[in-house]
Chains A and B, each alone.
Chain A
Protein backbone atom coordinates (compact mmCIF):
# COMPACT_ATOMS: atom_id res chain seq x y z
CA UNK A 1 0.00 0.00 0.00
CA UNK A 2 1.57 3.39 -0.97
CA UNK A 3 2.31 5.77 1.87
CA UNK A 4 0.33 9.02 1.75
CA UNK A 5 2.44 12.16 1.39
CA UNK A 6 2.75 14.40 4.43
CA UNK A 7 0.93 17.73 4.08
CA UNK A 8 2.79 20.96 3.38
CA UNK A 9 1.83 22.58 6.70
CA UNK A 10 1.52 20.32 9.67
CA UNK A 11 1.17 23.10 12.24
CA UNK A 12 -2.43 24.17 12.92
CA UNK A 13 -1.29 27.55 14.24
CA UNK A 14 0.75 28.24 11.11
CA UNK A 15 -2.30 27.46 9.01
CA UNK A 16 -4.43 29.78 11.15
CA UNK A 17 -1.83 32.51 10.74
CA UNK A 18 -1.85 31.99 6.97
CA UNK A 19 -5.65 32.27 6.77
CA UNK A 20 -5.71 35.37 9.00
CA UNK A 21 -2.83 36.82 6.98
CA UNK A 22 -4.67 36.37 3.67
CA UNK A 23 -7.79 38.06 5.11
CA UNK A 24 -5.78 40.93 6.59
CA UNK A 25 -3.89 41.29 3.31
CA UNK A 26 -7.26 41.73 1.60
CA UNK A 27 -8.24 44.35 4.18
CA UNK A 28 -4.95 46.26 3.96
CA UNK A 29 -4.73 45.99 0.19
CA UNK A 30 -8.25 47.27 -0.35
CA UNK A 31 -7.71 50.07 2.20
CA UNK A 32 -4.63 51.21 0.31
CA UNK A 33 -6.36 50.92 -3.04
CA UNK A 34 -9.60 52.61 -1.96
CA UNK A 35 -7.70 55.49 -0.33
CA UNK A 36 -6.06 56.24 -3.66
CA UNK A 37 -9.26 55.86 -5.71
CA UNK A 38 -11.85 57.80 -3.73
CA UNK A 39 -13.67 59.63 -6.46
CA UNK A 40 -14.52 58.93 -10.05
CA UNK A 41 -15.65 61.79 -12.26
CA UNK A 42 -17.28 59.31 -14.66
CA UNK A 43 -19.46 57.82 -11.89
CA UNK A 44 -23.22 58.45 -11.96
CA UNK A 45 -24.64 61.25 -9.86
CA UNK A 46 -25.53 60.79 -6.23
CA UNK A 47 -28.94 59.04 -5.99
CA UNK A 48 -30.60 61.93 -4.13
CA UNK A 49 -29.51 64.43 -6.72
CA UNK A 50 -30.76 62.40 -9.66
CA UNK A 51 -34.11 61.79 -7.90
CA UNK A 52 -34.45 65.53 -7.20
CA UNK A 53 -33.82 66.35 -10.85
CA UNK A 54 -36.22 63.68 -12.07
CA UNK A 55 -39.13 64.78 -9.87
CA UNK A 56 -38.77 68.50 -10.54
CA UNK A 57 -39.35 68.44 -14.27
CA UNK A 58 -43.01 68.16 -15.31
CA UNK A 59 -42.34 69.78 -18.67
CA UNK A 60 -45.72 69.34 -20.30
CA UNK A 61 -49.22 68.57 -19.05
CA UNK A 62 -52.47 68.11 -20.93
CA UNK A 63 -55.78 69.58 -19.80
CA UNK A 64 -59.09 69.46 -21.68
CA UNK A 65 -57.38 68.29 -24.82
CA UNK A 66 -55.12 71.29 -25.06
CA UNK A 67 -51.42 71.19 -24.67
CA UNK A 68 -50.15 73.26 -21.77
CA UNK A 69 -46.55 74.02 -21.19
CA UNK A 70 -45.17 74.55 -17.73
CA UNK A 71 -41.76 75.45 -16.44
CA UNK A 72 -39.38 72.53 -16.71
CA UNK A 73 -36.82 73.98 -14.35
CA UNK A 74 -37.73 74.58 -10.74
CA UNK A 75 -35.72 75.68 -7.75
CA UNK A 76 -34.44 73.00 -5.42
CA UNK A 77 -32.65 72.74 -2.12
CA UNK A 78 -30.47 69.87 -3.36
CA UNK A 79 -26.74 70.56 -3.20
CA UNK A 80 -24.85 70.34 -6.49
CA UNK A 81 -22.65 67.25 -6.80
CA UNK A 82 -19.25 68.00 -8.19
CA UNK A 83 -17.50 64.79 -7.25
CA UNK A 84 -18.93 61.37 -6.66
CA UNK A 85 -17.79 58.19 -5.04
CA UNK A 86 -16.37 55.58 -7.30
CA UNK A 87 -19.40 53.84 -8.70
Chain B
Protein backbone atom coordinates (compact mmCIF):
# COMPACT_ATOMS: atom_id res chain seq x y z
CA UNK B 1 0.00 0.00 0.00
CA UNK B 2 2.86 2.38 0.89
CA UNK B 3 4.46 1.60 -2.46
CA UNK B 4 1.23 2.43 -4.27
CA UNK B 5 0.99 5.79 -2.49
CA UNK B 6 4.61 6.50 -3.38
CA UNK B 7 4.01 5.70 -7.06
CA UNK B 8 0.86 7.86 -7.14
CA UNK B 9 2.75 10.77 -5.53
CA UNK B 10 5.54 10.59 -8.09
CA UNK B 11 3.38 10.08 -11.18
CA UNK B 12 0.79 12.73 -10.33
CA UNK B 13 3.55 15.21 -9.42
CA UNK B 14 5.20 14.72 -12.81
CA UNK B 15 1.91 14.88 -14.68
CA UNK B 16 0.94 18.06 -12.79
CA UNK B 17 4.24 19.60 -13.90
CA UNK B 18 3.53 18.54 -17.51
CA UNK B 19 0.08 20.17 -17.33
CA UNK B 20 1.64 23.33 -15.87
CA UNK B 21 4.26 23.41 -18.65
CA UNK B 22 1.52 23.16 -21.31
CA UNK B 23 -0.55 25.80 -19.54
CA UNK B 24 2.34 28.29 -19.28
CA UNK B 25 3.48 27.54 -22.83
CA UNK B 26 0.02 28.06 -24.34
CA UNK B 27 -0.53 31.14 -22.16
CA UNK B 28 2.64 32.78 -23.46
CA UNK B 29 1.88 31.69 -27.02
CA UNK B 30 -1.47 33.48 -26.90
CA UNK B 31 0.30 36.85 -27.01
CA UNK B 32 3.48 36.00 -28.89
CA UNK B 33 1.93 33.79 -31.58
CA UNK B 34 4.67 31.23 -30.95
CA UNK B 35 2.23 28.36 -31.64
CA UNK B 36 0.63 29.99 -34.69
CA UNK B 37 2.09 27.19 -36.82
CA UNK B 38 0.16 24.64 -34.72
CA UNK B 39 -3.21 26.30 -34.27
CA UNK B 40 -5.11 29.58 -34.25
CA UNK B 41 -5.50 31.56 -31.04
CA UNK B 42 -8.87 29.98 -30.21
CA UNK B 43 -7.25 26.54 -30.16
CA UNK B 44 -4.27 27.72 -28.10
CA UNK B 45 -6.69 29.38 -25.67
CA UNK B 46 -8.62 26.09 -25.36
CA UNK B 47 -5.37 24.27 -24.52
CA UNK B 48 -4.50 26.93 -21.92
CA UNK B 49 -7.91 26.57 -20.23
CA UNK B 50 -7.92 22.76 -20.35
CA UNK B 51 -4.39 22.24 -19.00
CA UNK B 52 -5.01 24.73 -16.18
CA UNK B 53 -8.03 22.63 -15.21
CA UNK B 54 -6.13 19.35 -15.65
CA UNK B 55 -3.51 20.58 -13.20
CA UNK B 56 -6.09 20.76 -10.36
CA UNK B 57 -6.92 17.03 -9.87
CA UNK B 58 -3.29 16.04 -10.49
CA UNK B 59 -1.97 18.47 -7.88
CA UNK B 60 -4.68 17.43 -5.40
CA UNK B 61 -3.80 13.75 -5.92
CA UNK B 62 -0.08 14.55 -5.52
CA UNK B 63 -0.67 16.38 -2.24
CA UNK B 64 -3.09 13.76 -0.83
CA UNK B 65 -0.68 10.95 -1.70
CA UNK B 66 2.16 12.74 0.09
CA UNK B 67 -0.05 13.40 3.13
CA UNK B 68 -0.71 9.67 3.40
CA UNK B 69 2.84 8.57 2.64
CA UNK B 70 4.49 7.52 5.91
CA UNK B 71 7.94 8.00 4.36
CA UNK B 72 7.47 11.56 3.10
CA UNK B 73 5.97 12.71 6.44
CA UNK B 74 4.31 15.76 4.88
CA UNK B 75 1.75 17.28 7.24
CA UNK B 76 -1.18 19.62 6.69
CA UNK B 77 0.91 22.48 8.11
CA UNK B 78 3.46 21.97 5.30
CA UNK B 79 0.76 22.84 2.77
CA UNK B 80 0.31 26.23 4.42
CA UNK B 81 3.78 27.12 5.73
CA UNK B 82 6.72 26.48 3.37
CA UNK B 83 10.19 25.36 4.53
CA UNK B 84 8.77 23.82 7.70
CA UNK B 85 10.01 20.30 7.07
CA UNK B 86 13.37 19.38 8.55
CA UNK B 87 14.11 17.05 5.63
CA UNK B 88 14.40 18.52 2.12
CA UNK B 89 13.16 21.84 3.43
CA UNK B 90 14.00 23.93 0.34
CA UNK B 91 12.83 21.37 -2.20
CA UNK B 92 9.48 20.71 -0.53
CA UNK B 93 9.04 24.37 0.45
CA UNK B 94 9.29 25.35 -3.22
CA UNK B 95 6.51 22.87 -3.96
CA UNK B 96 4.34 24.48 -1.28
CA UNK B 97 4.96 27.97 -2.72
CA UNK B 98 4.23 26.78 -6.23
CA UNK B 99 1.00 25.09 -5.13
CA UNK B 100 -0.21 28.18 -3.30
CA UNK B 101 0.64 30.52 -6.18
CA UNK B 102 -1.12 28.38 -8.79
CA UNK B 103 -4.19 28.17 -6.55
CA UNK B 104 -4.18 31.99 -6.22
CA UNK B 105 -3.83 32.37 -10.01
CA UNK B 106 -6.67 29.90 -10.68
CA UNK B 107 -9.00 31.51 -8.13
CA UNK B 108 -8.24 34.97 -9.57
CA UNK B 109 -9.09 33.65 -13.04
CA UNK B 110 -12.45 32.34 -11.85
CA UNK B 111 -13.12 35.73 -10.22
CA UNK B 112 -11.75 37.68 -13.19
CA UNK B 113 -14.98 39.57 -13.85
CA UNK B 114 -14.92 40.92 -10.28
CA UNK B 115 -11.29 42.12 -10.44
CA UNK B 116 -9.80 45.18 -12.18
CA UNK B 117 -7.87 44.13 -15.29
CA UNK B 118 -4.48 45.35 -14.06
CA UNK B 119 -4.96 43.58 -10.71
CA UNK B 120 -5.94 40.34 -12.41
CA UNK B 121 -2.95 40.63 -14.78
CA UNK B 122 -0.53 41.18 -11.89
CA UNK B 123 -1.87 38.09 -10.11
CA UNK B 124 -1.87 36.08 -13.35
CA UNK B 125 1.82 36.85 -13.89
CA UNK B 126 2.55 35.09 -10.62
CA UNK B 127 2.11 31.89 -12.62
CA UNK B 128 5.65 32.42 -14.00
CA UNK B 129 7.02 32.42 -10.45
CA UNK B 130 4.84 29.40 -9.67
CA UNK B 131 6.21 27.54 -12.66
CA UNK B 132 9.84 28.27 -11.78
CA UNK B 133 9.17 27.12 -8.20
CA UNK B 134 7.42 23.96 -9.45
CA UNK B 135 10.28 23.20 -11.85
CA UNK B 136 12.88 23.68 -9.11
CA UNK B 137 10.71 21.55 -6.79
CA UNK B 138 10.70 18.80 -9.41
CA UNK B 139 14.45 18.99 -9.90
CA UNK B 140 15.35 19.10 -6.21
CA UNK B 141 12.68 16.92 -4.60
CA UNK B 142 11.68 14.79 -7.57
CA UNK B 143 14.09 11.92 -7.27
CA UNK B 144 13.35 10.69 -10.79
CA UNK B 145 15.00 13.72 -12.37
CA UNK B 146 18.34 12.09 -11.64
CA UNK B 147 17.67 9.82 -14.62
CA UNK B 148 19.44 11.21 -17.72
CA UNK B 149 16.43 10.76 -20.04
CA UNK B 150 14.04 12.55 -17.69
CA UNK B 151 16.60 15.23 -16.97
CA UNK B 152 17.13 15.82 -20.69
CA UNK B 153 13.34 16.06 -21.23
CA UNK B 154 13.04 18.54 -18.34
CA UNK B 155 15.82 20.80 -19.61
CA UNK B 156 14.60 20.69 -23.23
CA UNK B 157 11.16 21.73 -21.97
CA UNK B 158 12.72 24.54 -19.92
CA UNK B 159 14.68 25.71 -22.98
CA UNK B 160 11.53 25.74 -25.16
CA UNK B 161 9.70 27.76 -22.49
CA UNK B 162 12.62 30.19 -22.25
CA UNK B 163 12.57 30.72 -26.04
CA UNK B 164 8.79 31.30 -26.05
CA UNK B 165 9.15 33.66 -23.07
CA UNK B 166 11.80 35.61 -24.98
CA UNK B 167 9.50 35.83 -28.02
CA UNK B 168 6.66 36.93 -25.75
CA UNK B 169 8.84 39.72 -24.33
CA UNK B 170 10.07 40.91 -27.71
CA UNK B 171 6.52 40.79 -29.12
CA UNK B 172 5.33 43.01 -26.26
CA UNK B 173 8.21 45.45 -26.83
CA UNK B 174 7.50 45.57 -30.58
CA UNK B 175 3.86 46.38 -29.88
CA UNK B 176 4.82 49.11 -27.42
CA UNK B 177 7.54 50.88 -29.43
CA UNK B 178 5.43 52.28 -32.40
CA UNK B 179 2.90 53.67 -29.95
CA UNK B 180 5.68 55.38 -27.99
CA UNK B 181 7.20 56.90 -31.16
CA UNK B 182 3.78 58.17 -32.22
CA UNK B 183 3.35 59.80 -28.83
CA UNK B 184 6.71 61.53 -29.16
CA UNK B 185 5.90 62.77 -32.68
CA UNK B 186 2.81 64.67 -31.55
CA UNK B 187 3.80 68.29 -30.95
Contact = CB atoms under 8 A, between A and B. Distances in A.
16 contacts: A7-B36, A8-B37, A9-B38, A10-B39, A16-B50, A19-B47, A22-B22, A23-B51, A27-B12, A27-B14, A28-B11, A30-B144, A34-B144, A38-B6, A47-B73, A47-B87
A30 B46 contact: no
Nearest to A13: B46
Contacts of A9: 38-39, 43
B82 to A, nearest CB: 17
Interface residues of B, number: 34
A5 B33 CA distance: 13
**Chain A interface, DSSP helix/strand/loop, else mixed:** helix
Nearest to A36: B7
Interface of B: 3, 6-8, 10-12, 14-15, 17-19, 22, 26, 36-40, 42-44, 46-47, 50-51, 54, 58, 71, 73, 86-87, 143-144
Given A9-B43, A20-B54, A27-B11, A86 B3 contact: no
A85 B143 contact: yes
Given A7-B36, A22-B22, A31-B7, A15 B43 contact: yes
Contact of B143 (A12, A18, A35, A87): A87
Contact of B10 (A22, A34, A46, A47): A34
A38 B43 CA distance: 39
A24 interface: yes
A51 interface: yes
A2 to B, nearest CB: 14
